[in-house]
Copies of this chain bind each other. A is one copy, B any other.
Amino acid sequence: MAEILKGNAVVSQSGGPTAVINASLVGVIEAAQANPNINKIFGAVHAVAGMKADNFVDLTDIDAQTLEIVAASPSSALGSSRDKPNADYVKAIVEVLQARNIRYFYYIGGNDSANTCKIVNEEAQKLGYELRAFHVPKTIDNDLRTTDHCPGYGSAANFVARALQGDDLDNRALPGVKIDIIMGRDAGWLTAATSLGQQREDDGPHLIYFPERRVSMEKFVSEIKEVYSRLGRCVVAVSEGIKDENGVVWAKRIAEDAEVDAHGNVQLSGSGALADFLSSQVKENSDISRVRADTFGYLQRSFAGLQSETDVVEARETGRKAVEFSMQYESGSAIMKRVGNGDDYAVEFERTELKNVAEFTKDLPDDFINEAGNGVTEAYKAYARPLAGSLPKTEYLANRDRA
């Protein structure tokens, strides 16, 4: 337990935006406003870049009405950054913090951000400058360790679940093969969430591929053909991080092939390449005529006005808890522990050491992936349903008995 420390605070947001990272921001601001040990509340613009360049906005007196709109807005309201600070960078940050008498540092982000928190904290200690550094978890990838799940995941899960509900009905109406590419380079958490809206036994996605399971092009195409011959259609969700039988990321292989093959202006780079490549593979190796592919892209993390009701509440509370914990501890991350499931779903908030979040990431566990490596288990759905929040019920009429 550390002693009570008085001074100013700074909050900032790092990495890829989410639908609820601003709810965490508001949680930090409102708890800081109510806290007698915190004087001024600064927002660092564009994360560590703003902290280094002394680029701040004053959030001390921001009104509650504006905060409610911020909490409902997607993306990072203070701007973000992909910078990874080195030693000199961190030194410059601590100098700025000292000059502004900032004693509380709240950093909303993924595991890299937890690491930044850690090294800023260590640098301050080295200089004998008393600083509390707290990490506020966020990521649509859901791949942070120690916490049960990450703020941001539930809303992105809700988005992809709705997207697949709609896309599956679209595929029933105009049958064929449909391939959807889902975000998540290293872990299949978000791709798994495409299953959450399934109601009927033959609802898609019928096949789901994760970075955690290698898949050869032969397996991919033959499994699609099997579903298509059985149902007359097939909807497939594929993680952008899908790997071939040798563990090589497909998207990387395609980009390299394209560079070698390039003869004119056309380059195979950018987000649509994997979708188009997989689609052409199915067309070439089957007699299925209607094959389509979509890459969901940034919509998954920054669609306006779509938040999981669980996620937005938890994201805000995570921000509040970080402020609360920073009154008791030098540093840490505000994580969630699940204490109830199903209808009794509930979480408790805990403080953990920064290193427990900063190092390594978390793959989908084996019991969340089916034996064939092409779908999820009921255990996954039970885990994820409360996080994604409510999904619409849908009806399809063409599967009724013929008159």
Contacts and interface: CB of A to CB of B under 8 A. Distances in A.
Interface of A: 13, 16-17, 22, 40, 42-43, 45-46, 55-59, 62, 66, 69-70, 72-82, 162-163, 165-167, 169-170, 172-174, 178, 197, 254, 257-258, 261, 263-273, 275-277, 279-281, 284, 292-299, 301-306, 391-398, 400-403
A42 B397 CA distance: 11
The 7 A-B residue pairs with the shortest CB-CB distance in the complex, in nearest-first order: A272-B272, A294-B297, A75-B169, A58-B403, A270-B276, A166-B302, A165-B304
Given A77-B396, A169-B75, A299 B298 contact: no
30 contacts: A16-B174, A42-B403, A45-B402, A56-B402, A57-B400, A66-B395, A73-B394, A75-B169, A75-B172, A77-B398, A79-B172, A80-B173, A81-B174, A162-B306, A166-B303, A166-B304, A167-B299, A169-B304, A261-B263, A265-B281, A266-B280, A268-B276, A270-B280, A271-B294, A272-B276, A294-B295, A296-B299, A299-B299, A304-B391, A306-B306
B254 A266 contact: yes
A48 to B, nearest CB: 13
B403 A69 contact: no
Contacts of A62: 397
Contacts of A173: 13, 17, 46, 75-76, 79-80
A79 B398 contact: yes
Contacts of A396: 73, 75, 77
Residue among A75, A178, A292, A392 with the most chain B CB within 10 A?
A75
Contact of A57 (B265, B292, B293, B403): B403
B264 A261 contact: yes
Contacts of A293: 270-272
- Each complex incorporates copies of this chain amounting to 2
B275 A163 contact: no
A59 B162 contact: no
B276 A271 contact: yes
Given A75-B166, A162-B303, A165-B305, 18 more contacts: A57-B397, A57-B401, A58-B403, A59-B397, A62-B397, A78-B397, A81-B174, A162-B306, A166-B302, A170-B298, A170-B302, A197-B304, A261-B261, A261-B263, A266-B277, A272-B275, A304-B391, A305-B392
Contacts of A82: 174
Given A59-B397, A75-B173, A395-B70, A271 B272 contact: yes
Nearest to A280: B267
A381 B43 CA distance: 34
A261 B260 CA distance: 12
Given A46-B398, A72-B392, A304-B392, A17 B169 contact: yes
A276 B169 CA distance: 28
Contacts of A178: 298
Given A79-B173, A266-B254, A402-B57, A166 B74 contact: yes
